[in-house]
């Protein structure tokens, strides 16, 4: 199957389901059934078994039809949960049962990884999972959980063995966010939005069938999630001028009264760097079609996060005193389509502060690049060889 065949399949779906009359669930369900949600997945898991690079062909046709994609409506589900479920679910049937409503955005997903005492040191987490027959009983607290307030399912990393080194005592689960004992509390951000949450897990029961990967292999499964997360967050638009740089160019076009030669030079530099980032993202996506996302995804995430901040700093500098004018600080929940970018420049500037923290801090990513790509010596780790229980914690 080639690009022309993928395009024909996509056009057929769009023709059969008019965006003005059919529901979004119907259209995205047909999109999944036609194999267009993730074209590189197996036939009955929302794919066609063709190279990942052909996804852009299908996505472009969906966008032209004015239909929002799963990538926008369910970002954590699409970019992080789906590849993890596809690779590690215990059965093909269960993977399909999760992936179709994920692809239609009927079921939003979130990611229960970070904890108050284990943010950048994810492997140091303390949330426990204790086996009880065919179930696991989970207790702990997670934080900075995007979209937990509207999620149906969550990816959960928990400690199942405290008597081995921290990376080896982890197991990975899918947890029902509506299960008894799951409590979600919104965290207000400086944008006024409550996109992040803290989640409390009290005697939450998870069937063993919802375990992803073997017991004790949670860190390996988590790497599937994290590498896809970094690739997803770091990916820029597939077309020239898309993404955050588009906001800066639009502001430049709208406000000729604010233009100066110095600002023009800054915008030109940001444009060139954004274009380099876009082409690097394309190359990373192409490489992932062969072997899946690797540590190179850390490059896209690191560069993209810092570039986003610099783009919105440019916008604020261009606005001058107008930049301090902010619409509404009232606390409000947000939907999946509102995450990561604001509705106007000031909000986007404030939201971009999180870019260098979420999905791995820039400091952690530089360590990954130094150790795994450049082959530099690793950091000294005081807890090396110790069991998790032996490591002092504040």
Known catalytic residues are 229
Q: Which letter does DSSP use for residue 339 in this model? A: S
Rounded to whole angstroms, the Cα distance separating 329 from 357 reads 22
Rg of the chain over Cα atoms, rounded to whole angstroms, equals 22
Alpha helix segments (H runs only) across 189-217: none
Rounded to whole angstroms, the Cα distance separating 48 from 1 reads 9
Rounded to whole angstroms, the Cα distance separating 235 from 241 reads 13
Rounded to whole angstroms, the Cα distance separating 141 from 148 reads 13
Alpha helix segments (H runs only) across 37-138: 55-64, 70-73, 75-76, 82-88, 92-103
137 DSSP β-pair partners: 130, 205
Written as six digits, the tokens of 18 are 């008019």
Rounded to whole angstroms, the Cα distance separating 88 from 219 reads 12
Rounded to whole angstroms, the Cα distance separating 171 from 221 reads 8
Phi and psi at residue 279, in whole multiples of 5°?
-70, -35
Q: Which letter does DSSP use for residue 354 in this model? A: G
285 DSSP β-pair partners: none
Rounded to whole angstroms, the Cα distance separating 264 from 268 reads 6
> 17: phi > 0 → left, psi -120 to 50 → alpha, else beta; which?
beta
Rounded to whole angstroms, the Cα distance separating 81 from 229 reads 9
10, with CB counted inside 10 A (0-12, 13-18, 19+), is: buried
Rounded to whole angstroms, the Cα distance separating 295 from 86 reads 20
What beta strand segments (E) does 196-343 contain? 196-207, 211-212, 332-333
């Amino acid at each position: 199957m080639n690009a022309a065949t993928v395009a024909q399949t996509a056009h057929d779906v769009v023709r059969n389901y008019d965006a003005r009359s059919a529901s979004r669930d119907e259209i995205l369900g047909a999109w999944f059934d036609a194999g267009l949600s993730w074209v590189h997945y197996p036939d009955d898991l929302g794919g066609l078994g063709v190279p990942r690079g052909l996804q852009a062909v299908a996505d472009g046709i969906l966008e032209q039809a004015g239909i929002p994609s799963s990538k926008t409506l369910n970002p954590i589900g699409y970019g992080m949960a789906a590849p993890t479920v596809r690779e590690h679910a215990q059965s093909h049937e269960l993977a399909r049962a999760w992936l179709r409503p994920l692809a239609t955005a009927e079921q939003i997903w979130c990611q229960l990884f970070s904890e108050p005492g284990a943010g950048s040191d994810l492997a140091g987490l303390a949330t426990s999972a204790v086996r009880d027959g065919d179930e696991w009983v989970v207790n702990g607290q997670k934080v900075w959980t995007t979209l937990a307030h509207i999620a149906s399912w969550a990816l959960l990393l928990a400690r199942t063995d405290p008597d081995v080194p921290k990376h080896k005592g982890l197991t990975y689960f899918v947890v029902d966010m509506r299960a008894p004992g799951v409590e979600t509390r919104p965290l207000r951000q400086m944008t006024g939005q409550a996109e992040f949450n803290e989640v409390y897990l009290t005697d939450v029961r998870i069937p063993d069938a919802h375990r992803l990967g073997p017991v004790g292999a949670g860190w390996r499964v988590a790497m599937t999630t994290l590498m896809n997360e970094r690739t997803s967050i770091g990916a820029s638009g597939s077309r020239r001028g898309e993404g955050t740089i588009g906001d800066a160019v639009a502001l430049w076009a709208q406000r000729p009264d604010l233009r100066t030669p110095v600002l023009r030079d800054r915008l030109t530099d940001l444009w060139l760097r954004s274009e380099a980032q876009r082409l690097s993202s394309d190359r990373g996506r192409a490489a992932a079609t062969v072997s899946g996302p690797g540590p190179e995804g850390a490059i896209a995430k690191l560069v993209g996060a810092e570039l986003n901040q610099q783009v919105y700093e440019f916008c604020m500098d261009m606005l001058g005193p107008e930049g301090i004018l902010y619409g509404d600080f009232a606390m409000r929940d947000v939907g999946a389509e509102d995450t990561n970018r604001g509705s106007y420049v000031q909000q986007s500037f404030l939201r971009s502060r999180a870019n260098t923290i979420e999905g791995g801090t820039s400091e952690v990513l530089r360590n990954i690049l130094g150790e795994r790509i450049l082959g530099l010596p690793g950091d000294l780790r005081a807890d090396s060889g110790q069991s998790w229980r032996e490591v002092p914690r504040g």
